[in-house]
Structure 1
Amino acid sequence: MPDATHTHGARDSHLTEAAHPLDALTPGEIGRVRAALEAAGALRDDTRFPMQLLLDPPKAALAAWAPGDPLGRRVLSTLLDTSTGLVREAVVALGTSASEDRVASIEDLPTGEAPYGQPQYLFEEYELVDEIVKADRGWRAAMASRGLDHMDRALVVPLAPGQFGEADEVGRRMMRSLTFLPPHAGDNPWSFPVEGLVLLVDVTGRKVEKLVDERQVPVPDIDGNYDDASVGARRTSLKPIEITMPEGPSFTVDGSHVTWEQWRFRVGFSMREGLVLHELGWQDGEELRSVVHRASVPEMVVPYGDTSETRRWISYFDAGEYHLGKNANSLALGCDCLGAIHYFDAHLAGDTGEAFTIPRAICMHEEDFGILWKHRELDGETTHGRRSRRLVISYFATVGNYDYGFFWYLYLDGSIQFEAKATGIVFCGADLPGTVQRHATEIATGLFAPVHQHIFCARLDMDVDGTDNYVDQVDLVRIPMGPENPWGNAFGHRRDRVTEAGSRLGDGALGRTWHIGSASRRNGLGRPTEYQLIPEARATLMADPASTVHARGTFATQHLWVTAHRDDETFPAGRYPNQHAGGDGLPAFVAEGGDVDGDDLVVWHSFGLTHIPRPEDWPIMPVDYSGFWLKPVGFLDRNPTLDVPEAGHDGDGCGCEGGGCDCGGHGHGHDGAAHDGHDGHHGHDGEDHVAIR
C-alpha cells in the first residue's frame, strides 16, 4: 500500500504557474495585477479589493489558442476606497512578463445612484463593525437594560442589510448587526441570541446609523455546545470501514487538466464562485467530444420568512455579498476526504490585493458507488455485473454559521451529478419557551429558528457536441381512453422547443426534464445527441413577487433559465447584488434576447432546500442535500461501461457461473451508499478569516 502521507495527500505544484488560459489565478499574477494598478496611480492607502476575477477568454479565442501562445489573461478587480466609499472597476491585461502588464480600463461605478449595489464585504470590515457596535452607547445601554454584562464577550454579527429603498440606507455602504452573548468564553455563541436588538451601521462613516430595540426576552439558558467535553464519550459500536487503493487513483493530473476514464476537464477556482469545471468533455475513441464548456454554482440566496424587525430583512447572497471561494475551507485527509486524494490549492486576492493561499481547497478522489449494472441469466445461475465508481471534485465554504459543500460527480456511464450539502449551525432568535410562532420553530428551550430557504443557481454553459445547441422541455403525457388508447394504459411524452430566452418551472407530476442537444450532430440512430437535465423541482422562492428579495433574487423564482451565451454574463443576480434594488442578472440577460435555438446558449438551473428547522438540527445540523443530474440521452450509441472490469477482492468477481458468486463480497464497498469525501470542515491554514453572518 502506498505511503499515505504522500499518495493520499498529493498536491499539484504546477498550479502555482499558469500554463493555460483557463488556469486559476496564481500568486504571481495576483501580485502583478496589484503592481500594475499601483504603477498606474490607481491605488490609494485606503484602497481595498473586495473582488478579483479572472475573465475567461472568448470561446473563439480559446479555440484558437495553442500551447506556447501568450495566455492573454485579463483580470477584473473591484476597488473600494474605504474612507469615501468610491467604487471602481479596473481590468488589467497581463503580458508575457510583468513589464508588459497594463491597465486596460478603469471606471467609477455609480453606487450612489439607482439601482445602487455595493461590492462584497471585506474581511477587515467584520472586525470594523464589531468595534463600531461595541463602542456605541446605544448598544451598551440596550445590553445593560437586559441585565447583560461581559459585553466584550459578545459576538457582534455583521450582515448584509438587504435593500428596502429607505433613505438612510440606499447608496451607502451599510451592514446590519445582531448580537449573541454566550455566558462563558468558549461556549457556542449561536445558542445565545440577544433578541430584538438590531443596529444599522454605516461602514464608510464608521458609525451606527440606526438602532432598533424591538422587544426584550431572556437570552436562552441552554447548553448548545457539541465538543467532546460537552457530548461525552463517543460511541464504540461502529466498526471501522477502510478504503484502500493499493495501486493509487485512476485519474491523472497535469496542472489543472484532469483525465479520468473517458472524462477530460480542467479545474478552476474563483473567489466568487469557488470551484469551476472547464471544458468538460468525453473521449469517444479518437474524438474528444464537448459536453459542458463551463460549469459552476455562482450564486445562492438564503431568504428568511420571519417578519420580526430583527430578521425581516435577512436574505443572504452568499456568493454575491460574501464570496463562496474566499471562504473556502482547507480540507484534511480523514476528516474531510477519504481515499487516494489529490488536492488543489486556491490562490486569491486578499483585502489589500495581495495574494493569499487556501491550501487543499479542492479535493478530488474516487468513490465506489454500488452496482453499475447487473443481470442474472435465465439459467438462474449465471450472473453478470459491474460496480459503479465516480470521480468526486469538491470544496466546502463556511459563511458565518452555515457550511456548504459543493460536490461534482462524474460517472463511468457519462452521467454528471451535482450535489450541495448544507450543514453548520442554524441562525436562531429567542422567545419565551413554549411560544408558538408562525414563522419559526422552537428547536431548543427558548431558542427559535426561522423558516428559510437555501436556493442555489448553477450556470451550465452547455456545448453538447459543439456550440450549436437547443433546449427541449420534455413532459410525460396522459392519453385519454379512446381510439388512441382503447385500454387506457397508454401514455407518452411531449417535447416543446425553447425558442426564446426565458425561464421555466419544473413539474414533478409531469416528470419534466430538459434536453440540451446538438443541432447538427446525429447518433447511430440518426437522432440528435443530447444531455438531459433532471431537476428535483422543489419549492422556488416563497417570498411575494412584490418583495425586494424577489427583485434581487429573481433567479430563484424559476427552475430553468435559458439565455444566449455572452462572455460577461456569469452571475444570476448580477455582479453586485449587495444592496442592489433588483432586476440585474438573469432578468436583464433574458431581456437582451439572442438566439437560443441552435446557437451558443447557457442553461441556468435553480435548486435547493426549504428549511423548516427541527430539534434534530440543533446544536449542529446533519447534512441536507440538494442537486441535479445531467444524463446522456443518445449522446452515446450504447452502454459505454460494457468493458468495465469485474470488481472484487482477492480474485472474486461479479461474472460467475454455477453458483457461488459473491460479487466481491469480501471487499470494503457497500451498495448505494458511497463513501462521502467530506465529513466535516476546517478553517484554512494560518489565521482564520471567516465571514460572520
Structure 2
Amino acid sequence: MSSTALHQMDPQRPDAAHPLARLSAEEMRQARSVLSAAGLVGESTRFTYVGLEEPAKGEVLDTGGAVVPRRARVILLDVATGRATDTVVSLSKGEVDSRRLLDPVRDGQPAIMLEEYIAADEIVKADEGWQAAMARRGITDLDLVCPCPLSAGAATKPDEQGRRMVRVLSFVRHREADHPWAHPVDGVVAFVDLTERRVIELIDDVLLPVPAEEHNHDDPAYTGPVRTTLKPIEITQPEGPSFTVDDDVVSWEGWRFRIGFDAREGLTLHQLSLHGRDIVYRASVAEMVVPYADPSPARWWQNYFDAGEYSLGAQVNALQLGCDCLGEIHYFDAVVADDLGEPQTRPNAICMHEEDFGVLWKHTDLFTGSSETRRQRRLVISFFVTVGNYDYGFYWYLYLDGTIELECKATGVMFTSSYVPGTPYADEVAPGLGGPYHQHMWCARLDMTVDGVANTVNEVQLQRVPVGPDNPHGNAFTKSVTPVERESQGARMAEPASARAWHVVNPDKLNRLGQPVGYALYPQGQPVLAADPSASISQRAAFATHHLWVTRYDPAERYPSGDLPNQHAGGAGLPAWTARDGDLRATDVVLWHTFGLTHFPRTEDWPVMPVDRAGFVLKPVGFFDRNPTLDVPASTASHCASDKSEGDSCCS
C-alpha cells in the first residue's frame, strides 16, 4: 500500500462553524479558559468530561445550523473535596451558561479518571491489611503486583453513601514482560475511597492458589514459530476511493453524513441521509455494560459501564494501516481533553474505507437467457478502544442498497479468576485459571428521522394461522403489525422464533403504492441482562433488560442509564423517561436498541480472545419504490476473471 493511499484529517481547525462539528482543540482550551475566569478551576480541579453540547434537533433542522451557538459541556471534579459540578460553556459568548453542583447520592459520580487508576495502585500498596493479604498468599514483591481499580457499582452500605470509590482486585506478574491476567490473586478485594485516599474496607474471603503458568500471547517462546503459509492479500483502488470528505461531512454513493466523536460514546454519525432523504439524525453507542455472574463476596459487585464509568471514547486506539484497516484508507484524528482539561490529539482514531461484500443481486433467467450479477459494496467507518483487559471495535457499515449495519467486535484478554473445581460460574481455560461467566451488553441510540421527524414505530412479526375454514390445509401464515403507541409500551423484547422486527415509518410520506415509507430494525435477539430483576445491576442497567426502548425525542436524554451511572443507585434514564408515558404516534422518536454477547469462556478464548461479534441491521422497507441498486454497473474484466476483452462486462 503506497503512502498516497492515506488521507489525514486535521481536527485542529480554528473555526468549526456547524453546530454539530466536533469540538476543536482551540474550543477545548477556550472552554477551560472561560471556566477558569469564572473561578471554577483550581489546583485540585479535574475535567472528567469535555464534549460538545449539541443543540436541540429542531434548532439545527430549522436553521440549517447556520446561526446556532456553539456550546461545550464540562463536568468538573474537585479531587480534594469530591465535589462535582456539571457546567455548560457558551463558546459563542465566552461565558458560563449554566452550572449545577452534583449530589453524589442522588446524581451519581463522574467517570473515573486516569490519575485515579494510578492513585488506587498507590493507596492499596500502602495499606497494611492489603499487604498482609498478599503475604498470606506468598506474594511479597509488591512491585510485581498489578492492582486493578474497578468501578464500584452502587453503594451497598450506609458508610459508602456519597463516597467516590473504586473496588480493587489484583493480579501479579513474574517479571515486567509477563502478562498479569494469567495470575489473578483471587479472594481479595480492597474498597478504596479516592477522595480520602485510603482503603475503607478489605475483603479477604478465601485462600485460593494463584495460577502459575505463563500465557504471553506476544512471546514467541510461548506462541511457537509464526506460520509461513499465508500469502499476501493486496487491496487496491487504482482510481482512488468513491467517497469524498469535506471537513467531517462524507459523501458516498448517495449517502451523506457527518462524522462526530465524543469522549464518552466515541464515534457518532450525524444527519445520515440517502439520495437527499433523511434516515437517522444521530447514531451512537450510548452505553455498554459488562456484568459478571460470580456471587462470591469478592466479586458479586463486578459490572462495568464502559461508556458512563470509563469514558469509552477517551480509550480510543491509534489505528494502523495493514493491521486495523486494510485498503484505501481515510483516517480522522480525534481530540479529547485530559484530566486537566487540555486537548490531546489521538491520531488515526477513526478509519474509513470501502469493501467489496460479495454478490449484491443475481439472476439467470430461464426464458430470456439473461444472466446478470452485481456486486455489493459497503462503506466502513470504525474505531477501536481498549478498556482495561478487553478491546472493542465498533464498525458502522453503509451498503449500496440502503442497509445500515452496526457490528461490535469484542477481543482482548478475559478478566480471569482462580478456578475452583465444580464452580457453576466459570470455566477452566488453563490449568487452575478460570474464565468467569459474563455478558457484554451494548445500547445503540438511534435518533430517527425517516423522511422527516413525524415517525411511528410498528412491531412486525410472523403470525401463524390455525387450521380452520380459512386455512383448511394448514399452510397459511401471515404477519401482524402492531403500533407502539405510548412510551409505557416502548420496552420490547426480540422474538427470533417469530422474526420480530420494528419498522419506523412516516405515515405522512407514502411510496407509489400508498404505503408509508420506512426503515426496519432487525435485531439479533440474543439474551438480555441475565441478573435477577432485584439485583443492583438490573436497576442501574435497566436498558439491558429489554432489546428495545422507544422514547419521544428530548435533547437532554443522551444516555440510557442517565448522565452519571458511576455509583448511581439505579432507576435513571430509560425507566424514568418511559414512566411519563408520552404519545409515540407520528412524532419524533428515538430507538434505544440493546444487543450483546453472553460469554461462557472457551479454552480457545485464552490467552487472547479471537473476535466475537454482535450487532443489528437497519433496512429500508417501502422507502424506495423498487430495488435502488438497478443502476449499479456490472464488474468489468479488469476486476474479475474473463475471456472477454478488457473493459467488457464479465458479470452479465
Q: Which residue of 2 aligns with 1:81?
A: 78
Tell me, in whole angstroms, the C-alpha distance in 1 between the residues paired with 2:408 and 2:223: 28
Are 1:153 and 2:144 matched, yes or no?
yes
Cα 1:380–1:138 change in 2 (3 A) is: farther
Partner residue, 1:438: 424
1:383-398 equivalences under 5 Å are 383-398=371-386
- Aligned residue in 2 for 1:118: 109
1:370-381 → structure 2 map (5 Å cutoff): 370-378=358-366
Give % identity.
51
2: CA distance, partners of 1:595 / 1:328: 38
For residue 57 of structure 2, the aligned residue among 56, 59, 75 is 59
Matched, 1:103 2:96: yes
> Which residue does the alignment assign to 1:685?
none
- For residues 655 and 55 of structure 1, the distance between their equivalents in structure 2, rounded to whole angstroms, comes to 58
Count of residues paired in the alignment: 647
**Displacement, 1:264?**
0.5
CA distance in 2: counterparts of 1:631 and 1:144, whole angstroms:
58
1:532 touches 1:633 (CA, 8 Å); kept in 2?
yes
Is 2:349 the partner of 1:361? yes
Contact 2:12 2:25 in 1 (8 A): no
Conserved in 2, the CA contact under 8 Å of 1:383 and 1:655? no
> Per-residue displacement from partner, 1:177-229 (whole Å, max 9, x unpaired)?
01101112211110000010100000000000011111112211212101142
Say if 2:292 is the partner of 1:299: no
Residues 481/462 of structure 1: CA separation in 2 closer, same or farther (3 Å cut): same
The SS at the match of 2:317 is coil
CA distance in 2, matches of 1:322, 1:66: 34
Contact 1:191 1:447 in 2 (8 A): yes
Match of 2:617 among 619, 623, 629: 629
CA contact (8 A) 1:92 1:102 kept: yes
Q: Encode CA deviations 1:402-424: one digit per residue, 9 max, x unaligned.
A: 01111100000000001000000
Q: Alignment partner for residue 168 of structure 1, among 134, 159, 165?
A: 159
CA distance in 2, matches of 1:79, 1:160: 18
**Which piece of structure 1 moves more, 31-40 or 50-59?**
50-59
Are 2:11 and 2:334, in contact at CA under 8 Å, matched by a contact in 1? no
SS of 2:567's partner is strand
| Distance in 2 between residues matched to 1:227 and 1:561, nearest whole Å | 42
1:26 corresponds in structure 2 to 24
Q: Cα deviation per residue 1:257-284 (whole Å; 9 max; x = unaligned)?
A: 000001000000000110100000011x
CA contact (8 A) 1:392 1:408 kept: yes
Aligned-residue offset at 1:239: 1.7
1:652 deviates by 4.8
C-alpha contact (below 8 Å) 2:12/2:24 kept by paired residues: no
Q: How does 1:646-685 map to 2 (within 5 A)?
A: 646-650=634-638, 652=640, 663=651
Q: Separation in 2 of the partners of 1:648 and 1:319? A: 45
TM-score by length of 2: 0.96
Q: Is the 8 A contact 1:93 1:102 kept in 2?
A: yes
Match of 2:274 in 1: 282
Residue by residue over 1:110-131, the C-alpha shift from the partner in whole angstroms, topping out at 9 and shown as x without a partner, is 11x3x35110011110000001
Helix, strand or coil at the partner of 1:529: strand
The match for 1:235 among 227, 246, 260 is 227
1:107-156 CA distances to partner (integer Å, 9 max, x unpaired)?
A: 21111x3x351100111100000010111111111111211122111111
Equivalent residues of 2:637, 2:649 under 8 A apart: no
Deviation sequence 1:46-79 (CA, Å, 0-9, x none): 0101112211111221123357x44511111111
Which runs of structure 2 are paired with 1:474-493 in the superposition (5 Å)? 474-493=460-479
| Residues in 1 aligned to 2:10 and 2:543: alpha-carbon distance in whole angstroms | 36
Cα offset, 1:651, TM superposition:
6.4
Question: Structure 1's 159 and 655: CA in aligned 2 closer, same or farther, altered over 3 A?
Answer: farther
- Confirm or deny that 1:581 pairs with 2:569: yes
Q: Are residue 508 (structure 1) and residue 508 (structure 2) matched? A: no
Amino acid at match of 2:84: V
Q: Which residue of 2 aligns with 1:688?
A: none
Letter of the 2:225 partner, please give it. A
Moved more, 584-593 or 317-326: 584-593
Q: Distance in 2 between matches of 1:322 and 1:424?
A: 17
Q: CA deviation at 1:310?
A: 2.0
> Higher mean Cα deviation, 222-231 or 314-323?
222-231
Higher RCO (CA-CA < 8 Å; seq separation 6+): 1
Q: How does 1:397-436 map to 2 (within 5 A)?
A: 397-431=385-419, 435-436=421-422
Preserved contact between residue 269 and residue 283 of structure 2 (Cα < 8 Å): yes
List per-residue Cα deviations over 1:332-351 (Å, max 9, x = no partner).
Answer: 11110001111111111110
Q: Give the alignment of 1:320-331 within 5 angstroms.
A: 320-331=308-319
Provide the rounded CA distance (Å) in 1 between the counterparts of 2:87 and 2:117: 25
Contact 1:301–1:317 at 8 Å: present in 2 too? yes
Partners of 2:389 and 2:551 in 1: CA distance: 34
1:687 maps to: none
Instruction: Tell me the equivalent position of 2:3.
Output: 5
Structure 1 counterpart SS, 2:186:
coil
The amino acid of 2:100's aligned partner reads: E
| Contact in 1 for aligned 2:59/2:68 (Cα 8 Å) | no
- Between 1:125-134 and 1:235-244, the stretch displaced more is 235-244
Distance 2:219 2:9 in 1: 32
Q: TM-score, normalised by structure 1?
A: 0.91
Distance 1:638 1:193, change over 3 A: same
Which residue number corresponds to residue 143 of structure 1? 134
Q: Which piece of structure 1 moves more, 411-420 or 138-147?
A: 138-147
Gaps of 5+ in 1: 665-693
Displacement of 1:380:
9.1
Q: Which residue identity is paired with 2:95? A: R
Deviation for aligned residue 1:16: 6.2
Secondary structure of 2:524's match?
Answer: coil
| SS of the residue 1:482 aligns to | coil
Q: Mind listing any 5+ residue stretches in structure 2 that lack a counterpart?
A: none
Distance 1:538 1:528 in 2: 30
Superposed CA deviations along residues 544-590 of structure 1, whole A, max 9, x for unmatched, are: 01000000000000001000100110100101011110000100111
> In the alignment, which of 444, 447, 459 is matched to residue 473 of structure 1?
459
